[in-house]
C-alpha cells in the first residue's frame, strides 16, 4: 500500500480568549490517497477554513497530528514546515491574500522564484493566460475585480504544479463560466499531474465532481451515510 498524501489523526483545535474556550475542530481523523479529489462541505462556521489551514501547516492544532507525505508537519520547526509547504502544497485562500505591492505577474512568479526556477516569468505569464488574465499581467491587486484577484490566487497556487492543492471556495467570486474554466483546470491538474485536490465549497455541482466529500458539522467530521 502506498502512503497517503495526508493522514490526519485526532486533530483538535481550540482557541481561548476573554470570553472562554471554543473548540473549532473536534478529534478529526481521515486520510487522503494520492490523486484523490475531496470536497470539504459544511455550514458557515463549521471549521472548514481552519481545517484547510492546518492541513497546509499555516495554522497549528491544539492536539493531534498531520502527516504530509509521511512527514509529521507539527514535529518540524516553522522554517522546515514552510519548506515542506513550498515544495509540495499549493494553497488558495478564501480571502486571496495577494501581495498588494506586486503585480499579478509578480504574485504568480513568487512561488516559482522561491523554488529558484529560471523560467518563472514565462511560466507565470502562461498560467495567467490560462485563467483568462493574459491582459492583466501588470495590474496590481487593488485595481483587479474580486473574480480577477481570485484567478490570480488560483494561478499562483497552480503554477508550481503542487502534489497537494488546497483551495478554499475557489470559485466563490467567479461567474458560472469562469468558475467552470477554473474547475476544469483544477481537475485537469488532478488527472494529468496526479495532483491531490482538497476543495472547500458550498457548490454542490463542484462537490459532486470530487471523488468523495467530507462533511464538517460544528467542527466534527460526519461520516457519509453509507459508511455509518
Ligand atoms: N482565531 C480564532 N479565534 C476565535 N474563533 C475563531 C478563530 N478562527 C476561527 N474561529 C471560529 O471558528 C469557527 C470556524 O471558522 P472557519 O473559518 O474555519 O469556518 P468555515 O467553515 O470556513 O466558515 P465559512 O463557510 O463561513 O468560511 C467560526 O465560528 C470562527 O468564528
Ligand atoms: Mg471558510
Pairing of strands 89-92, 164-168: parallel
The pLDDT assigned to 1 comes to 59
> Is 228 a residue whose pLDDT tops 60?
no
The contacts of residue 175 (CB under 8 Å, 6+ apart) are 147
Task: Please write the tens of the pLDDT for every residue from 102-121.
Answer: 999 999 999 999 889 999 99
Q: Which of 57, 21, 33 is nearest to 198 (CA)?
A: 33
Q: Is the CB of 46 under 6 A from ligand 1?
A: yes
Mean pLDDT of 148-159: 93
Residue 171 grid coordinates = 470559485
Pairing of strands 196-200, 220-222: unpaired
Are residues 28 and 48 in contact, defined by beta-carbon separation less than 8 angstroms?
A: no
120-130 and 146-158 helices cross at what angle (nearest 10)? 130
Q: Is the CB of 13 under 6 A from ligand 1?
A: no
Local structure of residue 56 (DSSP, 8 states):
T
Task: Please write the tens of the pLDDT for every residue from 25-60.
Answer: 999 999 999 999 999 999 999 999 999 999 999 999
Backbone angles phi, psi at 23, to 5 degrees: -95, 110
Helix, strand, or coil here: 2? coil
At residue 23 the predicted structure's pLDDT band, cuts being 50, 70 and 90, is very high
Query: Which ranges of the chain would DSSP assign to H, the alpha helix?
Result: 48-55, 78-88, 104-114, 120-130, 146-158, 176-193, 204-209
> Is 166 a residue whose pLDDT tops 90?
yes
Mean pLDDT of 165-179: 90
To test the pocket of ligand 1, the residue of 14, 23, 24, 26 to mutate (highest count of ligand atoms within 8 Å of its CB) is: 24
Mean pLDDT of 82-108: 93
Q: What is the mean pLDDT of the chain?
A: 93
- Global pTM? 0.91
The pLDDT assigned to 227 comes to 45
Q: How far is the CA of 170 from the centre of ligand 2 (A)?
A: 11
Distance CA 199, CA 175 (A): 18
Are residues 25 and 51 in contact, defined by beta-carbon separation less than 8 angstroms?
A: yes
At residue 2 the predicted structure's pLDDT band, cuts being 50, 70 and 90, is confident
Burial class of residue 174 (count of CB atoms within 10 Å of its CB; 0-12, 13-18, 19+): buried
Q: Round the CA-based radius of gyration of the chain to a whole number and report it.
A: 17
Backbone angles phi, psi at 60, to 5 degrees: -110, 145
Residue 105 grid coordinates = 505577474
> Is 136 a residue whose pLDDT tops 70?
yes
Q: How far is the CA of 133 from the centre of ligand 1 (A)?
A: 31
Amino acid at each position: 500500500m502506498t502512503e497517503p498524501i495526508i493522514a490526519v489523526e485526532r486533530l483538535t483545535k481550540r482557541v481561548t480568549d476573554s470570553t472562554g474556550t471554543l473548540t473549532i475542530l473536534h478529534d478529526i481523523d481521515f486520510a487522503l490517497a494520492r490523486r484523490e479529489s475531496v470536497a470539504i462541505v459544511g455550514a458557515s462556521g463549521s471549521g472548514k477554513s481552519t481545517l484547510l489551514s492546518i492541513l497546509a501547516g499555516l495554522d497549528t492544532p491544539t492536539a493531534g497530528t498531520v502527516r504530509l507525505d509521511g512527514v509529521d508537519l507539527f514535529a518540524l520547526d516553522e522554517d522546515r514546515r514552510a519548506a515542506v509547504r513550498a515544495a509540495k502544497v499549493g494553497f488558495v485562500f478564501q480571502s486571496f491574500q495577494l501581495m498588494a505591492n506586486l503585480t499579478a505577474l509578480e504574485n504568480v512568479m513568487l512561488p516559482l522564484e522561491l523554488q529558484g526556477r529560471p523560467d518563472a516569468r514565462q511560466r507565470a505569464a502562461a498560467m495567467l493566460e490560462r485563467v483568462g488574465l493574459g491582459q492583466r499581467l501588470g495590474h496590481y491587486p487593488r485595481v483587479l475585480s474580486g473574480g480577477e484577484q481570485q484567478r490570480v490566487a488560483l494561478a499562483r497556487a497552480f503554477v508550481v504544479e503542487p502534489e497537494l492543492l488546497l483551495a478554499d471556495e475557489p470559485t466563490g467570486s467567479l461567474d458560472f463560466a469562469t468558475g467552470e474554466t477554473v474547475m476544469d483546470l483544477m481537475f485537469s491538474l488532478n488527472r494529468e499531474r496526479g495532483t491531490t485536490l482538497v476543495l472547500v465549497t458550498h457548490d454542490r455541482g463542484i462537490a459532486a465532481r470530487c471523488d468523495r466529500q467530507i462533511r464538517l458539522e460544528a467542527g466534527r467530521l460526519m461520516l457519509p451515510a453509507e459508511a455509518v
